[in-house]
Structure 1
């Protein structure tokens, strides 16, 4: 019997352990711009779009340039890192879960606050490009997480009922967005995404290894 549900994946901190890289590049760029942003405050930015992060920085530190220009400059540094790096891998458990979903014909998509060019660069760097036919980025919607728009658009592109979608997230903002979309979130407790409130998740896991389609399906209401 076919499994009647879909799975949506966040990217940073779920498919790829990128948050420490993002924070380092953010801090280096901030230093170039003449300000410092405390790590304990940076954790609240996790899961939000880069443009919204730099809108906050511009307001707080009176930075030159638009939030979009500031975001673009930071993300160009991140994409350069991805192009130059070798040996980058997905988070453990991700390839096996994706293989299981494909075997069971369960549709899945990527739904990230990153723009689609960053999504494509990341998938290429970690070798997952062939697996993700469907993905939605922050530039595909007007409002990023914690608004539900990204997840709702991803479900629409899959032809999936939001109530039959499981979302795998590692951030407070992602869990909020999934709940607001009427979906069932799984919270991945990634130690490199600290300070996140995952209490709204239907299931919290410290590893993605061992997650199976059947286990995810069991989280959905009858």
Structure 2
């Protein structure tokens, strides 16, 4: 393996509590009710895709982009004000190790460009990644494989030398549908996600090193 394609939320940083706060503040403002089960099904989907679904379900009159921007305002304020937001345990060491060993890193996240930029800037991760892909640029969210197919097309190595690291069932499904080897990260922040269809599942990033990833042989 020569290229590692990272998801972001739940893999690099846990922004899920910030997203949940922003979504539910906005749902309250819109006067709609979203159950915990329905919200859990949004995992791995882009904000635009979520609001397209909610517009249909609740017959919301606002344009999708207006809904997306309103939720983003809630998120941005909470993100900037949350002092304890940090990278997930062990992921910076893994990123450093991969970078030092010459593996290419690509980000393929359902998050918006705005959120990706905020994370890259806050944690100074931009120089590690050759490409930053946002779900905003794709008509369909994970489990659709489009974002991973594009990541593999941009990679300097062929698809069979790429590996995806994902924490959501939708993300793993997307990676496998794209024909890419997938490591499922069983994050404590992504409980209830079915990762059984990943090629390898780990519970902590200390289980992964550049040498172990580079040695993986895809079928």
For Structure 1 versus Structure 2, the TM-score category normalised by the shorter chain is over 0.9
Conservation of the 8 A alpha-carbon contact between 2:22 and 2:78: no
Conservation of the 8 A alpha-carbon contact between 1:14 and 1:170: yes
Partner Cα separation in structure 1 for residue 22 and residue 190 of structure 2:
15
Conservation of the 8 A alpha-carbon contact between 1:162 and 1:181: no
- 1:40 maps onto 2:55 in alignment: no
Question: Counterpart in 2 of 1:28?
Answer: 25
Partner Cα separation in structure 2 for residue 206 and residue 137 of structure 1:
25
Question: Counterpart in 1 of 2:81?
Answer: 84
Partner Cα separation in structure 2 for residue 212 and residue 83 of structure 1:
32
Conservation of the 8 A alpha-carbon contact between 2:182 and 2:199: yes
List gaps (5 residues or longer) in structure 1.
none
List gaps (5 residues or longer) in structure 2.
none
SS at match of 1:197: coil
Q: Superposition pairs for residues 166-205 of structure 1, below 5 Å? A: 166-205=163-202
Between 207-216 and 178-187, report the one with greater CA deviation: 207-216
Give the deviation of 1:87 after TM superposition.
4.5
Between 175-184 and 146-155, report the one with greater CA deviation: 146-155
Question: Counterpart in 2 of 1:120?
Answer: 117
- 1:139 maps onto 2:167 in alignment: no
Conservation of the 8 A alpha-carbon contact between 2:5 and 2:164: yes
Conservation of the 8 A alpha-carbon contact between 1:43 and 1:194: no
The count of corresponding residues between Structure 1 and Structure 2 is: 219
Partner Cα separation in structure 1 for residue 144 and residue 6 of structure 2:
16
TM-score when scaled to structure 2? Answer: 0.92
Conservation of the 8 A alpha-carbon contact between 1:170 and 1:188: yes
- 1:151 maps onto 2:148 in alignment: yes
Question: Counterpart in 2 of 1:97?
Answer: 94
Partner Cα separation in structure 1 for residue 70 and residue 192 of structure 2:
26
Give the deviation of 1:85 after TM superposition.
3.0
* Structure 1 pair 179–112 and aligned structure 2 pair: CA distance change class (3 A): same
Question: Counterpart in 1 of 2:50?
Answer: 53
Conservation of the 8 A alpha-carbon contact between 1:43 and 1:193: no
SS at match of 1:45: coil
Partner Cα separation in structure 2 for residue 21 and residue 163 of structure 1:
35
Partner Cα separation in structure 2 for residue 67 and residue 175 of structure 1:
27
Q: Which of 108, 111, 130 does residue 111 from structure 1 map onto?
A: 108
TM-score when scaled to structure 1? Answer: 0.91
Give the deviation of 1:204 after TM superposition.
1.0
